[in-house]
C-alpha cells in the first residue's frame, strides 16, 4: 500500500513539473512570436503622408510672443553693436537706438499687424518716437533698415511705412515652416500654423 501512495505522490509532482515546463515553453513561444512581429503593420508602410496631415496649430498670447521674441533676438544679436527689442502691448512695438546727425537717439515704432493671405505679417507704422524729434516714418524706417542687420525673412519697406515678416521664407534648423492665421491683440490671441516638411 505504501508503494501506491508513493507512486501517487510522484505522479502529482511529475505531472506538476511537466505542466510548469509546458507553461514556460508556451510563454517563450508567445514571447518569441511577439518579438518577431513588426510593430508597424506592413500594409501601412507603403502609404504616403499627405502634406496637410503634418500641420498643427499654435495658439499663443502676448506674454508668450514677447518671451519668444526676446529669446530669438538675444540669440541673434550676440556681438552686434546695435540691438533692438520687440514688445507687444496695445501695438507691436520695436525699440532701439538710431544715429541721427551723429547723435545716438532712442527710437520706438508702434505698429499695427495685418495677416496676409499667404500667412505673412505686415506691420504698418502707427506712431514713431525718436527722442523728442518729429521725423517722418519713412526716414526712421530707412534708418532702421541701414542700422540693423535683420534676417532675410524680414523686409523693411520705408516707402510703404511697413515691415513685412515673411514667415514663408523663415528657415528653421529642423525643417518646420510657419504661417500666421490670426493676430488679435485686443483679445490676446495669436494663431499660427506649423508644418513639418
Please tell me the distance from the alpha carbon of residue 165 to that of residue 113, in angstroms, as a whole number: 10
- Is the pLDDT confidence value at 114 over 90? yes
Task: Write down the pLDDT at residue 103.
Answer: 75
Task: Write down the pLDDT at residue 159.
Answer: 92
Task: Write down the pLDDT at residue 80.
Answer: 64
Greater model confidence, 124 or 1: 124
Describe the strand order of the beta sheet including 176-184 as a list of residue ranges: 55-60, 189-196, 176-184
Q: Per-domain residue ranges for the chain?
A: 1-45, 51-196
Q: Point out the least confidently predicted range of 24-28, 68-72, 144-148, 164-168.
A: 24-28
Confidence of residue 117 (pLDDT cuts 50, 70, 90): very high
Average pLDDT for the chain? 79
Contact (CB, 8 A) for 107 and 144: yes
Give per-residue pLDDT as tens, 131-177: 777 778 888 888 778 877 778 888 989 999 999 999 888 877 778 88
| Cα torsion angle, 64, 197, 76, 179, sign | negative
Amino acid at each position: 500500500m505504501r508503494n501506491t501512495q508513493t507512486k501517487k505522490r510522484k505522479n502529482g509532482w511529475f505531472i506538476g513539473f511537466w505542466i510548469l515546463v509546458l507553461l514556460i515553453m508556451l510563454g517563450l513561444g508567445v514571447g518569441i512570436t511577439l518579438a518577431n512581429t513588426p510593430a508597424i503593420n506592413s500594409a501601412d508602410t507603403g502609404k504616403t503622408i499627405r502634406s496637410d496631415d503634418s500641420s498643427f496649430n499654435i495658439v499663443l498670447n502676448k506674454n508668450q510672443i514677447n518671451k519668444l521674441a526676446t529669446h530669438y533676438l538675444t540669440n541673434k544679436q550676440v556681438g552686434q553693436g546695435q540691438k533692438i527689442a520687440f514688445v507687444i502691448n496695445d501695438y507691436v512695438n520695436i525699440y532701439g537706438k538710431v544715429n541721427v546727425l551723429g547723435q545716438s537717439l532712442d527710437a520706438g515704432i508702434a505698429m499695427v499687424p495685418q495677416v496676409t493671405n499667404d500667412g505673412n505679417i505686415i506691420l504698418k507704422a502707427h506712431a514713431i518716437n525718436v527722442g523728442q524729434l518729429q521725423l517722418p516714418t519713412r526716414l526712421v524706417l530707412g534708418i532702421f533698415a541701414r542700422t540693423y542687420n535683420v534676417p532675410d525673412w524680414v523686409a523693411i519697406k520705408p516707402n510703404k511705412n511697413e515691415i513685412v515678416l515673411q514667415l514663408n521664407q523663415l528657415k528653421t534648423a529642423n525643417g518646420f515652416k510657419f504661417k500666421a492665421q490670426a493676430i488679435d491683440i485686443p483679445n490676446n490671441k495669436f494663431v499660427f500654423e506649423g508644418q513639418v516638411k
